[in-house]
Every structure is written in structure tokens, then in C-alpha cells.
Amino acid sequence: MADTVQYSLLGWIPLLPLIGAILNALFGRMMPKKVVHTIACGAMLVAFAFSVVSVLKLAGGGVSDHGHTTYAPLVHRYFTWFAAGSLDVQASLWLDPLSAVMILIITGVGSLIHIYSIGYMSEDPSYARYFTYLNFFVFAMLMLVLGDSMLVLFLGWEGVGVASYLLIGFWYEDEAKAAAGKKAFITNRVGDFAVVLGMFLLFQMAGTLAIPEVREWASMLSMEQHHAMGGMLTLITILFFIGCTGKSAQIPLYVWLPDAMAGPTPVSALIHAATMVTAGIYLIARMNFLFALAPTTMMIIAIVGALTAFFAATIGITQFDIKKVLAYSTVSQLGFMFLAVGAGSFFAGVFHLMTHAFFKALLFLGSGSVIHGMHHEQDIRKMGGLKKYMPITRWTFLLGCLAIAGVPFFSGFFSKDEILWYALSNHSALGGLHLGWILWGLTVLTAGMTSFYMFRLYFLTFEGECRADDETKSHIHESPWTMTVPLMVLALLSVAGGFIGIPHILGEPLGLPNLLHDWLHQVIAPGEALFTHKVGEGMAWPAMAVAVAVGLGGIALAYVKYGRGHDPTGDLEKAGKGYLFVHNKYLVDELYEATIGRGIRVAGQVSYQLIDRVLIDLLMVRMWGYTAKLGGEVLRQFQNGNAQRYAIYTLFGIAAVLFYFLT
């Protein structure tokens, strides 16, 4: 284990947003909006600055060895959270290259979204409440990625869940939105429960919950030990993965994310696209040494990821709500990331997490700008031709679409290609049934659908004739600078962000290093070491060419269908049954309602009638009342004020005592 460095500046990074949240929670309503957003954005910007300084400090402490640089992690201990027996939990932070990437994304993208929110939320009466929640979310997310113990991580994990719930149901006067918040929270609880179970089991096995110690424990396992506890490791990792499917919206727990779009759009961008939903990827990458020991789990993760990516993409094609399209796109892209980590390429997962954070935040903020300009109209059938009215939004949105579609040399191209390549090569090594080819084929198809639905969205929104009514049309305007500046910064990152992770097949001939991979090496090396490529490097170029061709084909198809003035107003009425089935999200919500929802209600009724009413109320509560009452009825016969009766009882008592002692 590398030496660690005490670094107290680290401690301020999560604290700043927390302080901002507390200040706004307590005094926000008394203060003018200017002060509120100055506190919130100020806390974020300073946290970002501290993060940059911390990461530079981390990078400065690198030691080169065999071509790989090892960086001494920065640590900061707040206090001993609790210590009981061998369980000693420190509330402390741990900054290594992986968390460095995460905190830069969180504070960087977070800052931009805070600034964007100034414009977007300017007319909302609950301005301070909004920034309180947002700052609190950032605090929890930072705890999640910086925590050096599973418990601190879990604290953040739950914290972001709460923040997400509060922000989805931010406009709680609308019952549907409040319900969406509850749905997100409850669905997440299912996953969180699994994480807790996984943590218990892990503690039982490893005897500690501090991640560096678990890592050391895992690296010390001998082959025999590994074989002996293989089943347990698979169980633990599957439990963690179930938690990830909740938090990161994978099959079968993805249903909450599309509904989560009920929250304000910047929230969708920050929480439900860029940061919180990637917590699952982070968890797996963080525990890569553990997951790599459980190949079964890895295969499940890869398959679930690929299926989620595919299904979400098909749903995304048929949606007409601008945010719903992006939501399903997010689910789909998260599926890509899980495929990556499932294939053993933790680097590719984190890389795509980063680029996705850039371009999906950009797309969400772009859609927010459109919604803001159109006065809360979200239906793309009523948009069109907006490029005239909002040029900055249009250009940045277009760049985001190109990035997500995987057009060469945009950021999405690099990360997605990396994922496809690892899916093909690594899993061929695992599955005997040509699993790699199947997963690769599925994801290439998904990539094609991705570019199709993104450009469908783009064409229907910005190109063609404006289908809004005249009243709305007269009000359409470009957004203020607080909103457009973040868009431009994110657009820049979306375009150029991929260059820090140039794939080896491209980088080596040109002599360009894969910066991100080298940077993350020390964290993910134990996990990646357990995977070897089997498919030859020779397949890399054709595979990439096919992926790019399919992506561009998707764009072309979208142009043919929607790019030439197509009016989608009547599409749904003309659609066939299959299209409607997909449009209605494969009726998964209804299926869950009919099975799990009904099942729980029936079980609830049964337990209410049987356990609550009969067992507890009648047997355990009222029975004692009846017993006491009956006992009183019987005993009061004796207490009748007749002294002679008392004498009789006494006599009887004497007889009993004498009998007992004398015979």
C-alpha cells in the first residue's frame, strides 16, 4: 500500500457545500436571491478550486515505477465515527486518482449547474430551498466519493438518495411530481437494502469496512481461500450490484429515473445524468478488486448493462417528451458503463462516466434552456425551428448530440469505442457462447439507436418549422448568460474531453498517451490484472469502423426520417401496436404494479388483518386487557366488605399454610 499524506484542505471540500446548505436552510428565506445564490455558487466554486488544488497536490506526489506512476493518496480524518470491538469506523476522507476524477466532475459540473440554476430558477418562489437541497446533494455526493470506509460511502449513498427525493418532488404541490419523488426513493431503498446486506457480509468476511484495508485483504487472499469463499464473494458483489441497479437505474430498478424528470431540469442534469446515477459505476470501480474475484457477477453486470442499454434506447426512440428522451438515453448510457465495468474495463467505465457527465449535462441543460424559452413546454411535437430563436442553445445542443452519437474525435467516440472494444475482447475470454460477440453486436446496435434518437430529438426541436402556437412563439427567447455560459463550457468539454483517454490503438501509432488510464492505473490495476484479452488486436480496427459506421448511419436515418420538415404531430395516432408498446415503456410500470405493487398490497392487507389486528391488537394487547378485566370481575367477588367472608378466606389460608407445613 502506498503511503498516505495528511491533507487538511481535503476536509473543506465536502464541508463547503454543507455550510452553504445550512446557511441557506436557516437564513435563505430572509435573504435576497442574490445573497442566496452567491452563497450556494460561492461554496461550489471554492470547493471546485480546493478540489483542483488537492488534485494537483495528489498529482505532484507521484512516484514512477515500471512505467506506471503511483500517487500517494491524500487523507483527512474528521473524527472517529464509532468504534465497537473490531469495528472501527473513522469519518475520514481518501483522495486517490479515482476519487480525484469524481470530485472534479462533481464540483466542476456542479458549479456550472449551480450557475445555470440562477437563471433557470430565477422566478421560483422557493429559491433558497432549491439551493439548499442542491448544496446538500453535492455534500452527500462528495462524501460518497471521498469516504474511505464503506460506511462513510454509504452515508453519502443515502444522502444523495434523500437529496434526489427532495429535488424530484421539489414542486410538491403537484401530486404527480411528489409521487415521482417517492417512487425514486422507494425504488432506491430496494437497492440500498442490498448494499447494507453486502456490507454486513463483507464485514463478516474481511473484518473491516475501510476500503484500503478491504483491498489489502482481498490482495492477500490465496488461491485456496479464494476458492473456498468464491460463493460468498459472488453473493457480496451481487448484492452491491443490486444496490447499483437501484442508484444507477439499471434493469430491473431503472423505472424511477424517467419519472425523476419531474424535478427541475438542472437537477436532472446534475443528479440524474452527471453525478448521482453514476455512483453505481463508482462503487464498482472502487471495489474493482472485489468484483474481479467474482467472474459470475461480472458477467451478470455486463449482460444487465447491455440489455439495459438496448431496451432503454428502444424506448428513447419513441418518446416525445424532450426530457424523457434524455432520461432513457441516460439509462442507456449507464448500461454502457455497466457493460464496461462488467467486462473488466473499469477504466472505460469511469472514462465514459466522465464524458457522459459532460455531454449529458450539456444536453439536459440545453433542453432546460429550450424549456425555459418555451415557457415550460416539454413536448417536442410542439417545438421545431428553434435554431432561429436560440442559436447558442442550438449549437451547443448539436455538439452534445454529436458527442453522444460517437462521431469520431468527439468525447463520446473515445469512451464508447473503448467500451465496445472491451466488451468484445474481454468477454470472449469469459463466456464460452461467444458472449463477447453478442454483447458487442447488441451495443453496436444500441449505439446506432443512440445516434438515431438523439438526432431525431435534435431535428424535431431545432430544425424544420416551428409548431408552437403563435402566443408561445412570440415569447421564445434565448436564455440569459448565466445559462448559456455553462452550456458553452460544457460543450467545450464534450468536444475535447475525450482526448485524455485516447484508446491505445489510436494513441500508440500517433505517440499519444492514454492519460486517464495511466492516472487511474493504481486504483484499477488489481481488477484489470485478472482479465486478459483473447481476441486479437487485429479486430480492433474493423470493430471501431463498424461502430462508427453504425453511429453515422443512425444520424443519416434520423435525417432522412425527421430532418426534412417532418411533422410528428400525428405520429402516435398512425403508429402500429408494436410502436405503442415500446412507447408505453414495454408496460414495465404496469407489470410492476400488477405483480410487485399488488403483491405488496395483498401482503400488507394480510399482515394488517392477521398480524396487526389479530396477533398484536387482539392477542397481545386486548387480551391482557380482557384478562385483567376478567380477573378483576372474579376477584372483586372476594372484596365485598363482608368481614365474615374475609375471616373465611383467612381461615382457609391458615388451613392451607398449616397443611403445607405440617404434613
Partner 1 sequence: MAETIFFIVFALGALGFSAAVLIAKNPINSAVMLVCSFFCLAGIYVMLSATFMAVIQILVYAGAIMVLFIFVLMLLNIRDDEIEAPRLSIHQGIAILAGTGIFFTIALSIAAWSGSSSRVAHDTMSDTFGTVEPIGDQLITSYVLPFEMAAILLLVGIVGAVVVAKKRF
Partner 2 sequence: MFGIPIGWYLTLSAALFVLGAIGLVLRRNAIVMFMCIEIMLNAVNLTFIAFARYHNDLGGHLFVFMVIAVAAAEAGIGLALIVNVYRHRRSLNVDDINLMQG
Give me the residues that bind partner 1 (CB under 8 A), please: 644-645, 647-648, 651-652, 654-655, 658-659, 662-663
Does residue 32 have a cis bond before it (omega within 30 degrees)? Answer: no
Least Å from the CB of residue 663 to partner 2: 15
Question: Which amino acid makes up residue 640?
Answer: N
CA angle 398, 401, 406 (to 5 degrees): 130
The binder of 663, among partner 2, partner 1, none, by C-beta within 5 to 8 A per type, is partner 1
CA distances (Å), 449 to each of 133, 274, 424, 464, in order? 35, 21, 19, 22
Q: Is 223 helix (H, G, I), strand (E, B) or coil?
A: helix
The stretches of 568-639 forming alpha helices (DSSP H) are 571-574, 577-583, 588-592, 598-606, 623-636
Comparing CA positions, the residue from 387, 350, 396, 409 lying closest to residue 552 is 409
Q: Is 323 helix (H, G, I), strand (E, B) or coil?
A: helix
C-alpha 245/C-alpha 251 separation (Å) is 7
- Minimum CB distance to partner 1 smaller for 626 or for 652: 652
- Minimum CB distance to partner 2 smaller for 509 or for 641: 641
- Minimum CB distance to partner 1 smaller for 623 or for 658: 658
- Minimum CB distance to partner 2 smaller for 613 or for 645: 645
* Residues 598-637 as x/- pattern, contact with partner 2 by CB under 8 A: --------------------------------------x-
Which one among 67, 125, 511, 641 touches partner 2, defined by CB under 8 A? 641
C-alpha 23/C-alpha 39 separation (Å) is 8
The binder of 605, among partner 1, partner 2, none, by C-beta within 5 to 8 A per type, is none
The binder of 606, among partner 1, partner 2, none, by C-beta within 5 to 8 A per type, is none
- Minimum CB distance to partner 2 smaller for 594 or for 655: 655
Window contacting partner 2 (CB under 8 A); options: 103-111, 253-261, 616-624, 641-649: 641-649
C-alpha 562/C-alpha 318 separation (Å) is 13
The binder of 64, among partner 1, partner 2, none, by C-beta within 5 to 8 A per type, is none
- Minimum CB distance to partner 2 smaller for 621 or for 654: 654
Least Å from the CB of residue 654 to partner 2: 8
Window contacting partner 2 (CB under 8 A); options: 271-279, 502-510, 605-613, 646-654: 646-654
Kindly state the DSSP code that residue 379 receives in the 8-state scheme. B
Q: Is 321 helix (H, G, I), strand (E, B) or coil?
A: strand
Helix, strand, coil in percent for the chain, rounding step 5: 75, 5, 20
Least Å from the CB of residue 653 to partner 2: 12
> Is 663 a residue that touches partner 2 (CB under 8 A)?
no
- Minimum CB distance to partner 2 smaller for 644 or for 663: 644
CA distances (Å), 349 to each of 21, 263, 356, in order? 31, 27, 10
Least Å from the CB of residue 635 to partner 2: 11
- Minimum CB distance to partner 1 smaller for 84 or for 662: 662
The binder of 79, among partner 1, partner 2, none, by C-beta within 5 to 8 A per type, is none
Window contacting partner 2 (CB under 8 A); options: 236-244, 439-447, 500-508, 647-655: 647-655
The binder of 624, among partner 1, partner 2, none, by C-beta within 5 to 8 A per type, is none
Determine the size of the site formed for partner 2 (CB under 8 A).
Answer: 10
Least Å from the CB of residue 651 to partner 1: 5
- Minimum CB distance to partner 2 smaller for 64 or for 637: 637
> Is 639 a residue that touches partner 2 (CB under 8 A)?
yes
- Minimum CB distance to partner 1 smaller for 610 or for 647: 647
Least Å from the CB of residue 644 to partner 2: 5
C-alpha 441/C-alpha 54 separation (Å) is 41
Residues in Cβ contact with 286 at an 8 Å cutoff, skipping those fewer than 6 apart: 98, 153, 211, 523
Q: Residues 459-491, buried b or exposed e (16+ Cβ, 10 A)?
A: bbbbbbebbbeeebeeebebbeebbbebbbbbb
Which one among 651, 653, 656, 657 touches partner 2, defined by CB under 8 A? 651
- Minimum CB distance to partner 1 smaller for 83 or for 651: 651
Question: Which amino acid makes up residue 651?
Answer: L
- Minimum CB distance to partner 2 smaller for 607 or for 642: 642
> Is 644 a residue that touches partner 2 (CB under 8 A)?
yes
- Minimum CB distance to partner 2 smaller for 222 or for 644: 644
- Minimum CB distance to partner 1 smaller for 64 or for 663: 663
The binder of 636, among partner 2, partner 1, none, by C-beta within 5 to 8 A per type, is partner 2
Least Å from the CB of residue 631 to partner 1: 20
Which one among 643, 659, 660, 661 touches partner 2, defined by CB under 8 A? 643
**Strands 68-71 and 62-65, how do they pair?**
antiparallel
Cα 119 to chain centroid distance, Å, stands at: 26
The binder of 658, among partner 1, partner 2, none, by C-beta within 5 to 8 A per type, is partner 1
C-alpha 187/C-alpha 249 separation (Å) is 9
Question: Virtual CA dihedral for 588, 594, 598, 600, nearest 10 degrees?
Answer: -30
Residues in Cβ contact with 2 at an 8 Å cutoff, skipping those fewer than 6 apart: 63, 70, 71, 72, 73, 522
Which one among 587, 614, 642, 656 touches partner 2, defined by CB under 8 A? 642
The binder of 641, among partner 2, partner 1, none, by C-beta within 5 to 8 A per type, is partner 2
- Minimum CB distance to partner 2 smaller for 63 or for 648: 648
The binder of 639, among partner 2, partner 1, none, by C-beta within 5 to 8 A per type, is partner 2
The binder of 220, among partner 2, partner 1, none, by C-beta within 5 to 8 A per type, is none
C-alpha 354/C-alpha 414 separation (Å) is 11
Cell, residue 399: 455538439
Cell, residue 168: 424530484
> Is 640 a residue that touches partner 2 (CB under 8 A)?
yes
Residues in Cβ contact with 96 at an 8 Å cutoff, skipping those fewer than 6 apart: 58, 71, 73, 522, 523
Which residues in 325-344 contact partner 2 (CB under 8 A)?
none
Least Å from the CB of residue 654 to partner 1: 6
Which residues in 171-230 contact partner 2 (CB under 8 A)?
none
Window contacting partner 2 (CB under 8 A); options: 79-87, 198-206, 344-352, 644-652: 644-652
> Is 515 a residue that touches partner 2 (CB under 8 A)?
no
The binder of 662, among partner 2, partner 1, none, by C-beta within 5 to 8 A per type, is partner 1
Written in H, E and C, the secondary structure of 75-121 is: EEEEEEEEEECCEEEEEEEEECHHHHHHHHHHHHHHHHHHHHHHHHC
C-alpha 210/C-alpha 184 separation (Å) is 29
CA distances (Å), 492 to each of 109, 169, 242, 251, 330, in order? 12, 32, 35, 32, 20
Q: Are 335 and 420 in contact (CB under 8 A)?
A: no
Least Å from the CB of residue 647 to partner 2: 5
**C-beta atoms surrounding 237 within 10 Å:** 26
Q: Are 73 and 39 in contact (CB under 8 A)?
A: no
Q: Contact positions toward partner 2, by CB under 8 A?
A: 636, 639-644, 647-648, 651
